């Protein structure tokens, strides 16, 4: 495995055989998040107010704590959604660029003739892990993808890698 290097582009776009940008799936949009938080906040406020009126005032604080924990959990989820991986394959180079949720970037470069795909399949779960192996060392790609997406990506990427080698 090549060592990570600071940014940089692969070959000219004309030479690119395969390019993909892998991103985590998020089913809740930012607008959906606001609607959910408004609904949860309204219900928690109403129940907290009811508990204060009935004399169980400490319960109101727990309703507020629930809303705060839910808000922080979703904010973390949205921060994790900012990560992605870019894979670009040309006749002379395989470039894997990872960008983390905080914007930190790692770039890996491989010779495509020495790269092989290693796939771990489990009967119940499908494709569990996909690694790019070069010179005996591996780099996992698409770890945040679900098994079906990982499977379709591996199929397309494997075909492209075979094309480059011919």
- For 127-142, the pLDDT digits (tens) are 888 889 988 888 999 8
131, 139 Cβ separation under 8 angstroms: yes
Q: Is the Cα dihedral 126, 28, 69, 54 positive or negative? A: negative
Q: Is residue 98 located within the same domain as residue 156?
A: yes
Q: Is residue 142 located within the same domain as residue 60?
A: no
Domain span holding position 37: 30-80
Q: Is residue 114 located within the same domain as residue 148?
A: yes
Q: Is residue 147 located within the same domain as residue 74?
A: no
What is the spatial distance between Cα 85 and Cα 24, in angstroms, rounded to a whole number? 10
Q: Quote the pLDDT of residue 14.
A: 57
User: Comparing 8-22, 49-63, 87-101, which segment has the lowest mean pLDDT?
Assistant: 8-22
Total structural domains within the chain: 2
Q: Quote the pLDDT of residue 137.
A: 84
User: Is residue 67 in a domain?
Assistant: yes
- For 62-74, the pLDDT digits (tens) are 999 999 999 999 9
Q: Quote the pLDDT of residue 124.
A: 80
pTM of the predicted structure, to 2 decimals: 0.69
User: What is the CATH classification number for the domain harbouring 144?
Assistant: 2.30.29
Q: Is residue 36 located within the same domain as residue 96?
A: no
Q: Is 8 a residue whose pLDDT tops 60? A: no
User: Is residue 5 in a domain?
Assistant: no
Mean pLDDT, the chain, rounded, equals 85
Packed helices 57-80 and 30-53: angle between N→C axes, nearest 10 degrees: 170
């Amino acid at each position: 495995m090549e060592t990570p290097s600071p940014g940089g582009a692969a070959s000219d776009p004309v030479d690119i055989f395969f390019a993909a940008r892998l991103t985590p799936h998020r089913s809740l949009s930012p607008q959906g998040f606001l609607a959910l938080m408004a609904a949860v906040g309204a219900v928690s406020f109403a129940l907290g107010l009811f508990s204060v009126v009935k004399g169980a005032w400490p319960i109101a604080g727990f309703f507020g704590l629930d809303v705060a924990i839910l808000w922080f959990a979703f904010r973390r989820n949205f921060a994790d959604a900012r990560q992605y991986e870019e894979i670009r394959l040309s006749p002379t180079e395989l470039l894997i660029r990872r960008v983390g949720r905080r914007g930190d970037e790692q770039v890996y470069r491989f010779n495509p003739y020495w790269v092989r795909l290693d796939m771990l399949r489990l009967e119940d779960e499908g494709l569990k892990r996909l690694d790019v192996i070069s010179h005996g060392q591996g780099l996992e790609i698409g770890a945040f993808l679900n098994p079906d997406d990982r499977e379709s990506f591996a199929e397309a990427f494997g075909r492209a890698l075979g094309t480059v080698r011919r």
